[in-house]
Amino acid sequence: MKNLFFFIIFLGITFLQVSCKEENHKKKIQLYEGPLSELDGINMTYSDSARLIVRMVTEKQLTMPNDDRVYPKEVKIFFYDRLGNETTNLRGDSARYFRSSNLYKVYRHVVINNTLKGETLKTDELIWNPDQKRVYTDKPVDVYTREEVLHGIGMDANQDFTQYTLRRVTGVVSVKNLPQ
């Protein structure tokens, strides 16, 4: 009887130890994947040799664990010439900065106004590469000038949008001074 009592206690302790070990194996640590910081009321400037080139304004910035920055609210970007005059402005519903490639991507309802030329460009996505000082997209683009409306799929431009090239262009183009 005494042996049976010790045997039952031994089995009970063994069972509890196995149960605890199984519970420990079931618990998995979940890594936090959300933002490391959240800033409100952003007014960021990008300059070169102490000369203002670009200014970005947005309500919120989230810094992610991989150092990417997410701008979940409307983003406004202003481009300036050598004298500090605004030449172009851009707005989009949201944006993201990709730290590993040093690229900014603006999303949804992207509108660019070139105040010098009186032109407006609309697209759903735009990528800015500050290293190459260029802006581009592979998405459909509509350009509204004082004289015409152009449509294309894809665009390449310098970062202040004073010069651009549309890819796969459609639309009516007016040509002046053609030889007769």
Any domain includes 162: yes
Strands 94-98 and 103-114: antiparallel
Q: What is the pLDDT of residues 131-146, one digit of tens each?
A: 898 999 999 999 998 8
Rounded Cα distance, 90 and 113, in Å: 6
Whether residue 122 contacts residue 152, with contact meaning beta carbons closer than 8 Å, is answered with no
Asked if the structure places residue 180 within a domain, the reply is no
DSSP conformational letter for 172: -
Read off the tokens for 28: 């998995």
Token pair of 144 as six digits: 């509204």
Asked whether residue 22 is assigned to any structural domain, the reply reads no
Residue for token pair 């010098």: 116
Per the domain annotation, does 24 fall within a domain? no
Alpha-carbon span 32 to 126, nearest angstrom: 30
Sign of the torsion formed by the C-alpha atoms of 61, 141, 154 and 140: positive
Q: How far apart are CA 74 and CA 87, in angstroms?
A: 20
pLDDT at 137: 94
Q: Is residue 150 part of a domain?
A: yes
* Residue 29 is assigned to a structural domain of this protein: no
Rounded to two decimals, the pTM is: 0.71
Is the residue at 30 inside a domain?
Answer: no
Does the residue 115 lie in any domain? yes
Instruction: Look up the CATH number of the domain holding residue 96.
Output: 2.60.450.10
pLDDT tens-digit profile of 28-86?
787 777 888 888 898 988 888 888 888 989 999 999 998 899 999 999 989 888 888 99
What is the model's pLDDT at position 125?
95
Look up the domain containing 152 and give its range: 37-171
The count of structural domains within the chain is 1
